[in-house]
Amino acid sequence: MPEKSLVVDLHCHSTASDGTLAPTDVVKRAAQQGVDVLALTDHDSTDGLDDAYTQATTSGLRLIPGLEISTTWQGKLLHVVGLDIDPDSTELRQGIAGLQAMRDQRASDMGNSLAKAGFSDAENAARELAGDGMVTRTHYARYLVNAGAARDMKQVFKRYLISGKPGYVKVDWVDISTAIGWIRQAGGIAVLAHPLRYRLTASWLNRVLKAFHEHGGTGVEVVCGNHSPDDNARAAMFARKHGLEASAGSDFHEPGPWIELGRLASLPDQLDAVWRRWQ
């Protein structure tokens, strides 16, 4: 009988950032979906990892401690996933504390800006939706959809939360080299998240991947939750070209019809999987 292949998912979110499930429930759901190796990768936060780890022990899956760091490189917003990090690393803790402070300031600025656009209760509502977790644009988006400002998440980002729109506040996060440095100092590996979502031209994406590799990045997400087979093939081509390893992650945020934990295509050929370390 052929060996059952390993089910991995190395990118997802909980209530520690902009997911809707508590870390414990993310892990339970992953186990129900047959995931063997799961990385919880909340935005600029490791707060969910303790609970996730405890549940993973009960659920019998392997939890890889992770996070997704917001970075700005040459004016572009890029997300860097750190995998197998030590959440107690001083450099990493200090680094993300700075990002959390920037997020908090941005949340206030977004609130003021949206108040001027007629949504006076936006900030309170977004903070309440975030609870103890990080305030993100997603929380503002959920509030605005609930308030009837747009019909769905896609529309609300387009109308309110991207550059040039009333709820958008520009932030210079940290450079990719800084984020990669924190991750490596914490003993982890850095993976460039969802490379095709930045809508970069091929020449820009090549520039990003070259810099990412030169600064000590290890891999790039090749298989993503929202990718078509063509997207996977295209991302695979970029990974091979730059000598980067390949990762796979759903970027699950909430239960819904489209994205599910662990529901990912298999890796295209001629790539080194980042998860071979954890097999």
Q: What is the contact mask toward Mn ion in residues 199 to 238, using x (rule: CB under 5 A)?
A: ----------------------------------------
**By Cβ distance, which residue is nearest to ligand AMP?**
136
By beta-carbon proximity to ligand AMP, the closer residue of 55 and 136 is 136
Q: What is the CA 223 to chain-centroid distance, rounded? A: 14
Minimum distance, C-beta of residue 99 to ligand AMP, in the bound complex (Å): 10
Say if residues 180 and 186 touch (Cβ distance below 8 Å).
no
By beta-carbon proximity to ligand AMP, the closer residue of 87 and 225 is 225
By beta-carbon proximity to ligand AMP, the closer residue of 170 and 277 is 170
Indicate which of Mn ion, ligand AMP, none lies near residue 137 (CB less than 5 to 8 Å, by partner kind).
ligand AMP
Indicate which of Mn ion, ligand AMP, none lies near residue 178 (CB less than 5 to 8 Å, by partner kind).
none
- Rule CB under 5 A: choose which of 79, 137, 139, 227 binds Mn ion: 79
18 binds Mn ion (CB under 5 A): yes
Minimum distance, C-beta of residue 267 to ligand AMP, in the bound complex (Å): 23
151: Cβ contacts below 8 Å, ≥ 6 apart: 145
Cα distance between residue 231 and residue 254, in whole Å: 22
Cα distance between residue 25 and residue 218, in whole Å: 29
Cα distance between residue 256 and residue 38, in whole Å: 19
32: Cβ contacts below 8 Å, ≥ 6 apart: none
List, in sequence order, every beta strand (DSSP E) within 28-149.
37-40, 62-73, 76-83
Angle, helices 122-130 vs 137-146, to 10°: value is 120
Q: Which residue has tokens 């930045």?
A: 198
Indicate which of Mn ion, ligand AMP, none lies near residue 157 (CB less than 5 to 8 Å, by partner kind).
ligand AMP
By beta-carbon proximity to ligand AMP, the closer residue of 194 and 242 is 194
Say if residues 127 and 135 touch (Cβ distance below 8 Å).
yes
Minimum distance, C-beta of residue 2 to ligand AMP, in the bound complex (Å): 36
* Side-chain-facing half-sphere of 9: CA atoms under 13 Å: 26
142 binds Mn ion (CB under 5 A): no
- Using alpha carbons only, how large is the chain's radius of gyration in Å? 18
123: Cβ contacts below 8 Å, ≥ 6 apart: 107, 108, 110, 111, 112, 114, 115
By beta-carbon proximity to ligand AMP, the closer residue of 6 and 153 is 153
Minimum distance, C-beta of residue 168 to ligand AMP, in the bound complex (Å): 9
**By Cβ distance, which residue is nearest to Mn ion?**
79
239: Cβ contacts below 8 Å, ≥ 6 apart: 219, 220, 222, 245, 246, 271
Kindly list the residues in this chain that would bind ligand AMP in the complex (CB under 6 A).
18, 43, 70, 136-138, 153-154, 157, 253
By beta-carbon proximity to ligand AMP, the closer residue of 43 and 213 is 43
Indicate which of Mn ion, ligand AMP, none lies near residue 213 (CB less than 5 to 8 Å, by partner kind).
none
47 binds Mn ion (CB under 5 A): no
Chain positions contacting Mn ion, by CB under 5 A: 18, 68, 79, 193, 251
